[in-house]
Structures are given as structure tokens and as C-alpha cells.
């Protein structure tokens, strides 16, 4: 059974929309744990559009399950990871103008820099996973760098608009998943997974971790909205 890593970045996105203190990702992490999350995932982006440095520090102290920090290989962020020591770092590519992480890390094209950061993190006792597209060559390059796992980018599967295209993308994930397992890598998957498309991915052989954010936070807003309105209404009608 795969473990569930809940990505709580968008709790911070809502907070940053007003630069205020609510909602606090620290509260969200505690509730996600109560709901059964096996891990809490956060992405400290260079532009700090959602998660802030303070969140990383406080979550490091308060999260009781695995803390997975997604990050680019930028020096400043690497230093923060080395200081806070999350259980796991997932290295991702990052472009300032992107809405979300758009593609996997090009491990082949950035072998030297990625390898250097992998070693720094591993020397600090941090497990490293690389977020890559489902391509065998990237998996082999990841294995050569000695990481413990890879996270396959499920964005193309999630974006597929026909059943045939979705089956095709699932097949690519399955082939890549088998290659990862054969290479001795832990198999993680994530990006764009929803309540509607997650089941075939969760059933893939040997999946160890799914990282899901947007869909869970989107549902949380809606399933909680009715109660939130009722509570405000009660306050103003007394």
C-alpha cells in the first residue's frame, strides 16, 4: 500500500494572498496527520510564493510523520535544507514564471550540479529523491547518482484528456516504475493526482509514496466551507 504525502503548499498560498497569519500550514500539517497522512510535503520555492522559511523551521519541529522538502538545487535553499534536516528532500526543477512544477528534473543534463547537491544532503543524513519524467534514461542517471528514490512526474497522466491517452501515460509510468524498481530505487509518484485519477496510479506495482497537494486542499476548502459560513453566521446573529 503506498504511503500518502500531503503537500500543504496551498494552505500557505492562501495565507500569502493576504500576507497574514492564517491559515497556518503548521495547523494544516497537524490536521493532515490526524487524517492519516504518512508524510507532509512542502516546497520552499526561491520566490517564496507560498511556504516561507519560518514554515520549514516550525514544521521541522512539529511534524511527527516524514517531512519531505521539495526544492531546487539553488545554493541558498540547499543551505536551509542542510540546517533544518528534513527526513527527505525531493529535488525538483524550478522556473520563476511557472504556475507549478512543469516538468521533471533533467538529471542527465545537470548531472554535476545535481550530484553535488545529492552528496551534500546525504552527508547531512537526508534521504534524497529526484522528481523526474517517466524516462528510463533519467532513471538510470538517478541511480548512478546514488539517490534512494525517484518521484515520477504524473502530470502528463493527469492532463490526458481521453481514456486512450490516459492509458498510454499510465503505461509509460508502469514501464518507468518497473525500471526504477529494477534499479533498486524507491518509487514515488506525484503531481496532478486527484480523487478521480489516483486509483490506477496507487495500484501500480511497488509504489511506495504518492505526493498529493492541490486536489486535497481544494476539497478541504469545499467540504469545510459550509461549516465555516455557519459558524460566522452564528457569531453575527447573537
Instruction: Give residues in contact with ligand PXP (CB under 6 A).
Output: 7, 9, 43, 70, 90, 92, 100-101, 131, 151, 190-193, 211-215
Q: Which is nearer to ligand PXP, 9 or 133 (CB)?
A: 9
The one catalytic residue among 43, 50, 153, 188: 43
Compute the least distance from the CB of residue 192 to ligand PXP, in Å.
Answer: 5
Compute the least distance from the CB of residue 194 to ligand PXP, in Å.
Answer: 8
In sequence order, the 6+-apart residues with CB closer than 8 A to the CB of 5 are: 37, 38, 39, 40, 41, 66, 68, 188, 190, 209, 210, 211, 212
Let me know if 153 is a catalytic residue. Answer: no
Q: Which is nearer to ligand PXP, 100 or 182 (CB)?
A: 100
Cell of 67: 517531512
With contact defined as beta carbons under 8 Å apart, do 91 and 129 qualify?
yes
With contact defined as beta carbons under 8 Å apart, do 103 and 93 qualify?
yes
Q: Which is nearer to ligand PXP, 131 or 179 (CB)?
A: 131
The one catalytic residue among 10, 153, 188, 191: 191
Let me know if 209 is a catalytic residue. Answer: no
Let me know if 191 is a catalytic residue. Answer: yes
Q: Which is nearer to ligand PXP, 149 or 213 (CB)?
A: 213
Q: What distance in Å separates the CA atoms of residue 183 and residue 16, rounded to the nearest whole number? A: 41
Residues with a known catalytic role? 43, 70, 191
Amino acid at each position: 500500500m503506498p504511503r500518502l504525502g500531503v503537500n500543504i503548499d496551498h494552505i500557505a498560498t492562501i495565507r500569502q494572498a493576504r500576507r497574514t497569519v492564517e491559515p497556518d500550514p503548521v495547523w494544516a500539517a497537524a490536521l493532515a496527520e490526524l487524517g492519516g497522512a504518512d508524510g507532509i510535503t512542502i516546497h520552499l520555492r526561491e520566490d517564496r510564493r507560498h511556504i516561507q522559511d519560518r514554515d520549514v523551521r516550525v514544521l521541522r519541529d512539529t511534524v511527527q510523520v516524514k517531512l519531505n522538502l521539495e526544492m531546487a538545487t539553488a545554493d541558498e535553499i540547499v543551505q536551509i535544507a542542510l540546517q533544518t534536516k528534513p527526513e527527505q528532500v525531493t529535488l525538483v526543477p524550478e522556473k520563476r514564471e511557472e504556475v507549478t512544477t512543469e516538468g521533471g528534473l533533467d538529471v542527465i543534463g545537470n548531472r554535476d550540479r545535481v550530484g553535488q547537491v545529492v552528496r551534500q544532503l546525504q552527508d547531512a543524513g537526508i534521504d534524497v529523491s529526484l522528481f523526474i519524467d517517466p524516462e528510463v534514461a533519467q532513471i538510470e542517471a538517478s541511480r548512478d547518482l546514488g539517490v534512494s528514490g525517484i518521484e515520477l512526474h504524473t502530470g502528463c497522466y493527469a492532463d490526458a484528456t481521453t481514456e486512450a491517452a490516459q492509458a498510454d501515460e499510465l503505461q509509460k509510468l508502469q514501464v518507468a516504475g518497473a525500471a526504477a524498481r529494477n534499479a533498486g530505487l524507491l518509487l514515488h509518484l506525484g503531481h496532478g493526482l486527484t480523487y478521480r485519477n489516483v486509483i490506477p496510479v496507487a495500484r501500480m506495482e511497488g509504489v511506495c509514496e504518492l505526493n498529493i497537494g492541490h486536489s486535497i486542499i481544494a476539497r478541504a476548502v469545499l467540504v469545510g466551507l459550509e461549516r465555516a459560513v455557519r459558524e460566522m453566521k452564528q457569531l453575527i446573529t447573537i
